[in-house]
Amino acid sequence: MKKRIFSGAQPTGQLHLGNYLGALKNWVALQNEYESFFCIVNLHAITLPQDPQVLRQKTLDLARIYLAAGLDPEVSTIFIQSDIAEHAELTWVLSCSSRMGELERMTQFKDKGKGNSERAGVGLFTYPVLMAADILLYQTHLVPVGKDQKQHLELARDLAERFNRDFGRTFVVPDPFIPPVGANILSLQEPAKKMSKSDENPNGAIFLLDDPDTITKKIKRAVTDSGTTVEYDEARPAISNLLTIYHLMTGRTIEESQAHFEGRGYGHFKAELAEAVVEFLKPFQEKAQSYTDDELNRILKAGAEKARVIARETLRDVYAKMGIVGAV
């Protein structure tokens, strides 16, 4: 039997190159090798306030992006988290064995809660437990994500091991898949921070649906380090980040790319990088726009039907092992 992968993204903000290079690109590369589940995690989205109208639209738009990136609904199960009630149910069960201390240590909670735990939502606090439930429900072996999710994945592993220890083998203990290159694409404006949907400065991120002019402008304005050579160097994060993007967009290795730009300045490099990104995103955007809402809804419904069977089976096993029995 094939091993399983599970991953997801939140239908909030706009997806950017970091999401694509750190996550979606690998989902596409792995989908045939594994039995694959890709989820639109709308219940995670509401850990911060969302406009209902916008959330509804973004949920379908994210399905468009998944398909445009190359997820094949004939191969992968693509579905919306809230369609499977078991995600919320298993979250409750797992939250009973999660410790305050381990959730307090989550750096994303500290970042998104802006260090103010008095005012932060409880959902933001228990967010990693919902994520663990997503993963464990499907008996997932591998979870392809960017580096920012590593800590959440460790919690999912700990919760699986704890449950298996207390109640007998129930969950597969998942491994993270964090790509060696591209797992942490940096902001074009502040290379000390990751490229992010919620960056206040929109020039920091290249969104997958940006038009060619905007892409070119953002790359031209990208900050660079002191120095003039186009070389990968940990001490020069800005140029290394741009070079990483170039490498992943074109398929040229870092060495080939360095050789290609030898003796040429930042200006030349940025122009070619912009061209490569625009070229790459053009067919992507055309594909994203080609799906009707009806088509998307059909794919998501079929996905939910497949996902539900597995989720139910896992939850039934969990309840049985814990002695949770109903009267009906």
Identity of the residue, 157 or 270, whose beta carbon is nearer to ligand TRP in the bound complex: 157
Residue with Cβ nearer ligand TRP (178 or 248): 178
Q: Contacting ligand TRP (CB under 6 A), which of 67, 80, 94, 143?
A: 143
Q: Which does 247 bind (CB under 5 to 8 A by kind): ligand AMP, ligand TRP, none?
A: none
Active site positions, annotated: 112, 194, 197
Per rule CB under 6 A, count of chain residues that contact ligand AMP? 16
Which of 18/174 has CB closer to ligand AMP?
18
CB of 127 to ligand TRP, least distance (A): 7
Residue 165 beta carbon to ligand AMP: minimum distance, rounded to whole angstroms: 28
Interface with ligand AMP includes 184 (CB under 6 A)? yes
Distance of alpha carbon 201 from alpha carbon 309, whole angstroms: 43
Interatomic CA distance for residues 94 and 161, integer angstroms: 12
Residue with tokens 């398909």: 67
Examine residue 44 and tell whether it contacts ligand TRP (CB under 6 A). Answer: yes
Residue 185 CA to residue 194 CA, distance in Å, equals 6
Strand partners, 6: 37
Q: Which is nearer to ligand AMP, 14 or 170 (CB)?
A: 14
List b or e across 225-239, with b for residues whose CB sees 16 or more CB atoms inside 10 angstroms: eeeeebebeeebebb
Contact between 134 and ligand TRP (CB under 6 A)? yes
Q: Is 160 in the site for ligand TRP (CB under 6 A)?
A: no
> Quick one: which H or E segment has residue 6?
strand 4-9
Q: Which two tokens stand for residue 260?
A: 């290609």
- What does the angle CA 18 – CA 46 – CA 189 come to, to the nearest 5 degrees? 30
- Comparing CA positions, the residue from 301, 219, 305 lying closest to residue 266 is 219
Q: Which is nearer to ligand AMP, 147 or 252 (CB)?
A: 147
Binding residues among 29-48 for ligand AMP as defined by CB under 6 A? none
**Residue 179 touching ligand TRP (CB under 6 A):** no
DSSP helix/strand/coil, 119: coil
User: Are the beta carbons of 219 and 290 closer than 8 angstroms?
Assistant: no
Residues lying near ligand TRP in the complex (CB under 6 A): 6-10, 41, 44, 131, 134-135, 143, 145, 149, 152
